[in-house]
Amino acid sequence: MADIVFDNVTRVFQRNGEDLLTLDGINLHIQDKEFVAIVGPSGCGKTTCMRMAAGLEFPTSGTVSVAGRDVRSPGPDRAVVFQQFALFPWKTVWENVDFGLRSKGLATGERRDIIEHYLKLMNLTGYEKAFPHQLSGGMQQRVAIARAYALDPGVLLMDEPFGALDAQTRVVMQEELVRLARVNPRTVLFITHAVEESVYLADRVVIMTSRPGRVKEIIDIKSVREANRWDEQATIEDVMDLESFVHLRTHIWKSLRAEHAGHEH
């Protein structure tokens, strides 16, 4: 059971000698194989939440646990995909995906089967010998996602993974990720600024307040998606035209707009 639990998590940073309260009493339980997106104003601590789940930062008070164990460091049970395409530029597509598998000590044949499987899933077959600089931004991010899934982590942590992509490529990647999430579900914590992206991808959307970040509202997307059969729609454009999608998107936008307005006064 690869669930993620934030239990009364507070995070204080030091800035210019003063304490800066960034997160204040975060309580959140992401279930095993659930896809949860976090949205909120800039500076509300979204990425800090992801980094704490990854073991790259730690709470000032409270605890973050994965699969029932407090997070004390990074680990192979959690894979991270960043906005920047964090590939080794001197390694081929195949070698980039293989890198983590080698560290797990898997046999050559087993590694080959895993790499072929995920390159096929991410539509990268035929690019095995290409280097990152020979690929588009979208293809580089596909390699990063293939590498993350190939490690077979229980938890996938994604920090605005499509933020650096152009609009058309971003839509394609969203559709790829939805397909992959249905075929090969993982526990996913997904950080984004894009409201449409959060509604399209996630089972639940967590809306955070302006700093100090608190959980303002949690929106159940999955029940609406299933009731309105979004998965039977062909493309993200089809889904975005549905009344149920528009209603959720508008609700989240209004909630975020209220945070921005309140923060400015």
pLDDT tens digits in sequence order for the chain, 265 residues long: 789 999 999 999 988 888 999 999 999 999 999 999 999 998 899 999 999 999 999 999 999 999 999 999 998 889 888 877 678 999 999 999 998 888 888 889 999 999 998 898 888 899 999 999 999 888 898 898 888 888 888 899 999 888 877 888 888 888 888 888 888 888 999 999 899 999 999 999 999 999 899 999 999 999 999 998 887 776 788 898 899 999 999 999 999 998 877 654 4
Domains of the chain, residue spans: 87-152
**Strand pairing partners for 12?**
21
**Burial (Cβ within 10 Å: 0-12, 13-18, ≥19) of residue 232:** exposed
- Rounded to whole angstroms, the Cα distance separating 104 from 117 reads 17
- Helix ranges restricted to H, 86-130: 93-103, 108-121
Q: Do you find a cis peptide bond into 212, omega within 30 degrees of 0?
A: yes
Condensed to tens digits (0 to 9), the pLDDT of residues 162-207 reads 887 788 888 888 888 888 888 888 899 999 989 999 999 999 999 9
Closest listed residue to residue 161, CA positions, set 94, 80, 53: 80
| Token reading at 159 | 């920090």
- Rounded to whole angstroms, the Cα distance separating 197 from 186 reads 18
Does residue 239 contact residue 233 with C-beta atoms inside 8 Å?
yes
Q: What is the reported pLDDT for 151? A: 86
Q: What is the reported pLDDT for 176? A: 81
Does residue 46 contact residue 40 with C-beta atoms inside 8 Å?
yes
Q: What is the reported pLDDT for 262? A: 64
- Rounded to whole angstroms, the Cα distance separating 27 from 2 reads 17
Sign, CA torsion 80/86/90/94 = positive
Any idea which residue has 């601590």 for tokens? 45
Q: What is the reported pLDDT for 91? A: 94
**Which amino acid would we find at residue 212?**
P
Condensed to tens digits (0 to 9), the pLDDT of residues 238-258 reads 898 899 999 999 999 999 998
What does the DSSP 8-state code read for residue 164? T
Q: What is the reported pLDDT for 43? A: 87
Q: What is the reported pLDDT for 96? A: 93
Please state, in angstroms and as integers, the Cα–Cα distance from residue 43 to each residue in 47, 98, 256, following that order. 9, 35, 13
Q: What is the reported pLDDT for 265? A: 40
**Beta carbons within 8 Å of 147's beta carbon, 6+ residues apart:** 79, 87, 96, 97, 99, 100, 118
| Token reading at 72 | 């004390």
Q: In degrees rounded to 5, what are phi and psi of residue 191?
A: -100, 130
